[in-house]
A and B are shown apart, each in its own frame.
Chain A
């Protein structure tokens, strides 16, 4: 990627290696992740460190991981895509409508997946057109499409869930491939593809340039509106994949599933060191950040069985902790970042 750890390493010789490492956001994140692992492990003991807990975590975090990749794409370019959850639900619903009530019939699986991806690309084109060509600010444009797309999904289903898919399709969310959960495989594939796209292709470099300095990008001859369309199509496509994983795992599609994922995805991206003003972000950061959030979340879940903390732990404690963590990490990044 454009800046950060790799280039700061050969810094002034007077500073210790540790001080240099502490300046790398990726290293700080690694410490946070390990600290959470140790903390939750020591609080919950064998319940947390068991094979079963890790296996169940591996099914849970890929969804959030793909959403975080999606929001990172838009953050890198200096925008934000608030509509990812709505896109995922609409795409999932499109696939769900094709698949529903065909438990034995697996010939529809491929068309359903393709339809979901096409729907998400169309949503991305809409976002990109609004932002790139109509010049609406990303926050407002995606705020609008978030409502609009969720509304369309509501109107299509009248708020009901569309459920009951072929078993073969459900493997996307529940199956394993050589003992590795399929959703995890999908997440890692998305992460790898995005990493290659961002670091090895001209498109990736251009997206980062646009995020670092949009004015300079224009003068460098980049076609900003076209790049913005590509950005939001990419983020919508990732959202669509997440949507497929969601409906395969839960065996149902709903217009308003997982709305809390939006905040969590932003949280993961910020934890990962993605600069919300654009220009910087790494896939490795996302991997670590989503893991640390999962440790926190599973750990808090298990704390419900703790004799003292138990009564105070519920879903709202998690919401509280996420918010606190987001603020804390941002403040920390900023303090350490400014010293440089």
Chain B
């Protein structure tokens, strides 16, 4: 029981429940099936991004270029599918977006691994590089006529239910992408040597290298993985919006990082779980969506996100400081 109380996930789940009850009392529309499916849909894109960020944070780095990678992959994929004759299945689209994302992620990884540069500044630079390239040389107009396959994919549902008024609400198929990605990332982190190596290098880089973990290879994997997840997230976003807007997604970075940190990942590395990240994403999405349900003007949204980041990191820093002092490290 005491162990349970010490886990951030427990408090997050509790907070989510309390928040849900509170908002539900203020506006019963919160617990409607339509709104819950809406929350799932909104958390898909953010969740895919967040899983990538989680892995980077555990390894002791940070990546702020994932949104630019997402926008790049989604826009380039849509353009390529419209000009080349590759068939119009959604699978091709996702594979292509994943591949574009992978190459951009590996670009980050190469810079970080080869030159051993600070990750924040490398990804700050590459974010501007990717976005600048996309908008200056690929295009700035919104693609409205997405390939048929992507449209069909966006209409797929996992589970559908008719409402009394005749309309139907459904859980979008893309939510499955988030679930599968979460399970995969969780498996890699917990059950493979690679995952343990990522935790190790975040805890202490020198010790991890001495223990025989191949740091550079791991870094390539980490930033490549962020790239793939971002590419898939970008395409999922395009399917959801039924258009590819090159100006979308960028600006989401801080919310995603906030969600992951809220989920208990430490920005100095070595700590973080998939479950915590998923809960963190759900919490941020719920807060953002519910400000509207609660009639709070949208310009307060930034104030609320800022306060949430500060409160959650403050509490994490405070409790971890106490724990360290307990063992005599601080």
- List the interface of chain A (C-beta within 8 A of B): 80, 130, 134-137, 139-141, 143-152, 154-155, 158-159, 263, 266-267, 270, 276-277, 312, 314, 316-324, 326-327, 330-331, 334-335
Contact = CB atoms under 8 A, between A and B. Distances in A.
A277 B258 CA distance: 23
A136 B122 CA distance: 22
Interface in B122-147: 122, 124-137, 140
A326 B115 CA distance: 13
B125 A330 contact: yes
Contacts of A136: 310, 313-314, 317
B302 A144 contact: no
A31 B198 CA distance: 40
Categorize the interface residue count of chain B: 35 or more
B321 interface: yes
A128 to B, nearest CB: 14
Given A148-B307, A277-B118, A317-B132, 7 more contacts: A144-B258, A144-B309, A154-B300, A263-B128, A320-B129, A323-B125, A327-B111
A135 B117 CA distance: 25
Nearest to A326: B125
A331 B121 CA distance: 11
A318 B313 contact: no
Contacts of A317: 132, 136
B267 interface: yes
B132 A320 contact: yes
A141 to B, nearest CB: 7
A146 B115 CA distance: 30
Nearest to B307: A148
Nearest to A156: B299
Interface string B238-249: 000000000000
Interface of B: 62, 111, 115-118, 120-122, 124-137, 140, 254, 257-258, 261, 267-268, 297, 299-307, 309-310, 313-314, 317-318, 321
A143 B121 contact: no
A189 to B, nearest CB: 29
B135 A139 contact: no
A147 B122 contact: no
B120 A144 contact: no
A75 to B, nearest CB: 10
B253 to A, nearest CB: 9
Contacts of B132: 316-323
Contact of A151 (B118, B127, B261, B303): B303
A120 B128 CA distance: 28
Residue of A130, A149, A316, A331 most packed against chain B (CB within 10 A): A316
A159 B298 CA distance: 10
Contacts of A267: 125
Given A144-B310, A327-B111, A334 B129 contact: no
Contacts of B134: 316
B280 to A, nearest CB: 13
A169 B225 CA distance: 52
Nearest to B62: A139
A171 B128 CA distance: 34
B125 A327 contact: yes
B257 A143 contact: yes
Contacts of A148: 302-303, 306-307, 310
A80 B306 contact: no
8 contacts: A136-B310, A136-B317, A144-B258, A144-B313, A155-B303, A312-B137, A323-B132, A326-B128
B104 to A, nearest CB: 12
Given A139-B267, A327-B111, A319 B135 contact: yes
